[in-house]
Structure 1
Amino acid sequence: MSTEFFLTSLIVVLMPGTGVIYTLSHGLGGGARAALAATVGCTLGIVPHMAASIFGLAAVLHASAMAFQAIKFAGVAYLIYLAWTTLKDDGTLSVTENRRHLSTRKIALHGFLINILNPKLSIFFLAFLPQFVPADNPAPLIHMMVLSAMFMALTAVVFAGYGFGAAFMRDAVISRPRVMAWFRRLFAGTFALLGLRLAFAER
């Protein structure tokens, strides 16, 4: 992995986006185990986009306005749904003993859906990965697969860092219900804003 690829990937992964917010919310609300589940889900949600870019399917998405719009608005609807459930149902950030917490499987599934329903990721990887494959590379497909695996590993490490950091702060935050309420509103508002941003995204 080249230094340029590592630094570019690190900047991309570190940028606060939907997956980061989702992982932080579960790290804060459910601790390290929930943060790990969110990390796994969000990381796996990258796989379809990488496969699309590697095998050229993202080009179809880029060319078809209807396909792009369909996936985009499915993602918008899901983000708005997350904003609503985070605000109204405090299960995501709940720390009381008598509340039913989301299972790690459901947390991972939601994280997977968050990333898979973002068509911008396919377009991003279509433009991103080929730049780091030398023109004279005898096996460009294998090289792109290796880069993709490295990008996923970096994503998992960074997201886990975010999530575990939030889990570490959890005990200091959960003892203050008003602080938890403000965090809940913050995450709900962020999900809503990310949904609006995606709604106005162009190809």
Structure 2
Amino acid sequence: MDSIQHYGAFLAACVALALTPGLDTFYILARSGREGRLAGLGAVLGILCGCVVHTLAAVLGLSAILMTSALAFAVLKYLGAAYLVWVGLRMLLTRQTAHTGATTRGRGFAAAFRQGLLTNALNPKVALFYLAFLPQFIAPHAAHPQLGLLLLGLSFIAIGFVWSLVLALLGARINQLLRRRPRIGLWADRLCGGVLLGFGLRLALQRRG
């Protein structure tokens, strides 16, 4: 912990960031609301694994490449945007009318995990956030700054995990309502697809600045 400064302020900032709605918040609520608690847990674990990827990238200095290379940033940005658009269009165009609990392509724990991982890991803005946010709490002239970055990243992930579980449980309660009213569930799919499509288009138009 000698490599870290203002750890209490860092934890407070992490709580505030976790409570701020964003793509991860919406995705967890959408998956658990559509498919129940297990899919919500898959989404949570996928997103957290994406955060682990960004933490390791920050520790190894790989995130710095995105800040200095316009090409690397653009490639990752458009990959992430294309994936979000693809997932959103699938939800918009699906003809499934009932939430029967059956696992189909694009549904279930594995699909929720994979999509959560990719939507988070392919977002260059998240990588740049880690690179800009974590180093602020590394002590000057720290003997092991990489270890400090790793501990800060894991702390951020732990706080996010607790709040994400709350969101997954909340979404599971919504799922119970949708099971009783399949027509509402179908329109919920359309809404979720439209929002994911919007996130994808916004990511594609974002700049590094």
Normalising by structure 2, we get a TM-score of: 0.88
Q: Percent identity?
A: 32
Distance 1:135 1:172, change over 3 A: same
4+ long deviations beyond 6 Å = none
What one-letter code is carried by the residue in structure 2 that aligns with 1:170? N
What one-letter code is carried by the residue in structure 1 that aligns with 2:115? H
Distance 1:122 1:98, change over 3 A: closer
Unaligned 5+ segments in structure 1 are: none
1:95 to 77, 94, 99: 99
Counterpart of 2:48 in 1: which secondary structure?
Answer: helix
1:81 to 79, 86, 90: 86
Instruction: State the Cα deviation string for residues 59-106 of structure 1 (Å, max 9, x = none).
Output: 111111111101100111100011111122266x95125663624222
Q: Which residue of 1 aligns with 2:158?
A: 153
Counterpart of 2:140 in 1: which secondary structure?
Answer: coil
Q: State how far apart, in whole Å, the 2-side matches of 1:99 and 1:48 are.
A: 28
2:37 aligned with 1:41: no
* Greater alpha carbon shift after TM alignment, 121-130 vs 1-10: 1-10
Distance 1:134 1:73, change over 3 A: same
Q: State how far apart, in whole Å, the 2-side matches of 1:130 and 1:90 are.
A: 47
Matched-pair contact (CA < 8 Å) for 1:49–1:116: yes
2:201 aligned with 1:196: yes
Unaligned 5+ segments in structure 2 are: 1-5
Normalising by structure 1, we get a TM-score of: 0.91
Q: Which residue of 1 aligns with 2:135?
A: 130
Aligned-residue CA RMSD in angstroms? 2.0
2:111 aligned with 1:106: yes
1:20 to 11, 18, 25: 25
Instruction: State the Cα deviation string for residues 10-50 of structure 1 (Å, max 9, x = none).
Output: 22222222222221111111211111111000110112211
Q: How does 1:51-66 map to 2 (within 5 A)?
A: 51-66=56-71
Q: State how far apart, in whole Å, the 2-side matches of 1:73 and 1:188 are.
A: 18
Q: State how far apart, in whole Å, the 2-side matches of 1:175 and 1:110 are.
A: 26
Instruction: State the Cα deviation string for residues 122-158 of structure 1 (Å, max 9, x = none).
Output: 1111100011112143322211111111111111111
Count residues with an aligned counterpart. 202
What one-letter code is carried by the residue in structure 1 that aligns with 2:36? G
